[in-house]
A and B are shown apart, each in its own frame.
Chain A
Amino acid sequence: MTTRIGVVTFPGSLDDRDAQRAIRLAGAEPVALWHRDKDLHQVDAVVLPGGFSYGDYLRAGAISRFSPVMETLIEQAKLGMPVLGICNGFQVLTESHLLPGAMLRNNHLHFICRDQKLRVENAATAWTSDYQAGQEISIPLKNMDGRYTADRRTIDELESEGRVVFRYLAGEDGLRNPNGSINDIAGITNAAGNVVGLMPHPEHAVEPLVGTGKTDGLPFFTSVLKQLVNV
């Protein structure tokens, strides 16, 4: 049976099609999920894509978090279903409290769009097992509200439990931290390792023709596929 991975479309989602494409390239079947439909249609994992759901009104991700599909998703994520939040999807995950902390406006107030070098700090999550811990990858980054923040206790907890999954590294321009994120954090996971959120976009780096010209993002999708097939 083919592994089914859902991609939620909210009003204002932009990268849902690219996420579906990445899932297909990894060998799974992408399933379009609609924000007003509580039913997850028997998917085995879910991707919350990037974009500007509900126009980022109130706070990025704040309104999407209360959409019908999220009710079921939060339930299933707590039971262990793999969930990946990319960019706006990461913001939805922090607003849902599936991941700790919050996202703030970039410290320089500019929208940023560039290829971003990252270090994979944790290769034991549902979405990173096809990487090596310490591996450096480059995938696109494009956002306005990417400054990850949390209180000191939460940060200490994330660091000591190895739950910082990705950290920003300096690229050719020498710029390391693109948004003022605490400890250069680009992505984190929950304690169980099934929920991962990050600001940069792996789904834009899955084939040589577009994006960074490399396929550094593809292992996200092959990782989860492997885990689901082995279950």
Chain B
Amino acid sequence: MARVVVDVMLKPEILDPQGQAVQRALPRLGFTGIADVRQGKRFELELEGPVDDAALDKIREAAETFLANTVIEDFTVRVEDGQ
């Protein structure tokens, strides 16, 4: 089976308080030198058929209409290698 990964991130201009909370916790735990943290979502979609253009178009449509809210989020779609 082929795997397609959809990553969804808040747009850069949108405040991400969860990412900020993680960033504030890092130095306390001894992880220094990290300037910024943004938190997002990763969806792993296992396809029943081949990963062709038609399948990828459908996944892009799903990402655009459902997996991401494009008012506040950006998404990327990529095929995972090494399957």
Contacts A62-B66, A66-B66, A109-B21 given; does A102 touch B71 at CB 8 Å: yes
List chain A residues, Cβ under 8 A from B15. 104, 107, 147, 180
Asked if B18 and A109 sit within 8 Å, CB to CB, the answer is yes
List chain A residues, Cβ under 8 A from B21. 109
List chain B residues, Cβ under 8 A from A147. 15
Contacts A109-B17, A109-B18 given; does A149 touch B72 at CB 8 Å: yes
Chain A interface bracket (under 10, 10 to 19, 20 to 34, 35 or more): 20 to 34
Asked if B14 and A104 sit within 8 Å, CB to CB, the answer is yes
Task: Tell yes or no: A105 within 8 A of B by CB.
Answer: yes
Asked if B71 and A101 sit within 8 Å, CB to CB, the answer is yes
Interface size on B, residues (CB 8 A): 11
Determine which of A104, A107, A108, A109 lies in contact with B72 in the assembled complex, contact meaning CB atoms within 8 Å. Answer: A104
Q: How far is the CA of A108 from the CA of B24 in the complex (A)?
A: 13
List chain B residues, Cβ under 8 A from A108. 17
Contacts A104-B72, A149-B72 given; does A58 touch B18 at CB 8 Å: no
Asked if A105 and B71 sit within 8 Å, CB to CB, the answer is no
List chain A residues, Cβ under 8 A from B37. none
A to B contact number (C-beta, < 8 Å): 34
List chain A residues, Cβ under 8 A from B69. 59, 62, 95, 102
Determine which of B10, B18, B71 lies in contact with A150 in the assembled complex, contact meaning CB atoms within 8 Å. Answer: B71
A59, A101, A106, A108: residue with the most chain B Cβ atoms closer than 10 Å = A59
Main secondary structure of the interface of B (DSSP, over half): mixed
List chain B residues, Cβ under 8 A from A101. 71
Q: How far is the CA of A85 from the CA of B72 in the complex (A)?
A: 20
Q: How far is the CA of A159 from the CA of B31 in the complex (A)?
A: 44
Nearest chain A CB to B74 CB, angstrom units: 13
Contacts A107-B15, A109-B21, A149-B14 given; does A102 touch B66 at CB 8 Å: no
Task: Tell yes or no: B51 within 8 A of A by CB.
Answer: no
Main secondary structure of the interface of A (DSSP, over half): loop
Nearest chain A CB to B50 CB, angstrom units: 27
List chain A residues, Cβ under 8 A from B67. 58
Q: How far is the CA of A147 from the CA of B18 in the complex (A)?
A: 13
Nearest chain B CB to A89 CB, angstrom units: 17
List chain B residues, Cβ under 8 A from A105. 17-18
Q: What 1/0 flags go to B15-26 for Cβ under 8 Å of A?
A: 101100100000
- B residues engaging A (CB < 8 A)? 10, 14-15, 17-18, 21, 66-67, 69, 71-72
A–B complex contacts, Cβ < 8 Å, 13 sampled:
A66-B66, A94-B71, A95-B69, A102-B69, A102-B71, A104-B14, A104-B72, A105-B18, A107-B17, A108-B17, A109-B18, A149-B14, A151-B71
Pairs of residues from A and B, 7 with the lowest C-beta to C-beta distance, nearest first: A102-B71, A102-B72, A109-B17, A107-B17, A102-B69, A59-B69, A105-B17
- A residues engaging B (CB < 8 A)? 58-59, 62, 66, 94-95, 100-102, 104-109, 147, 149-151, 180
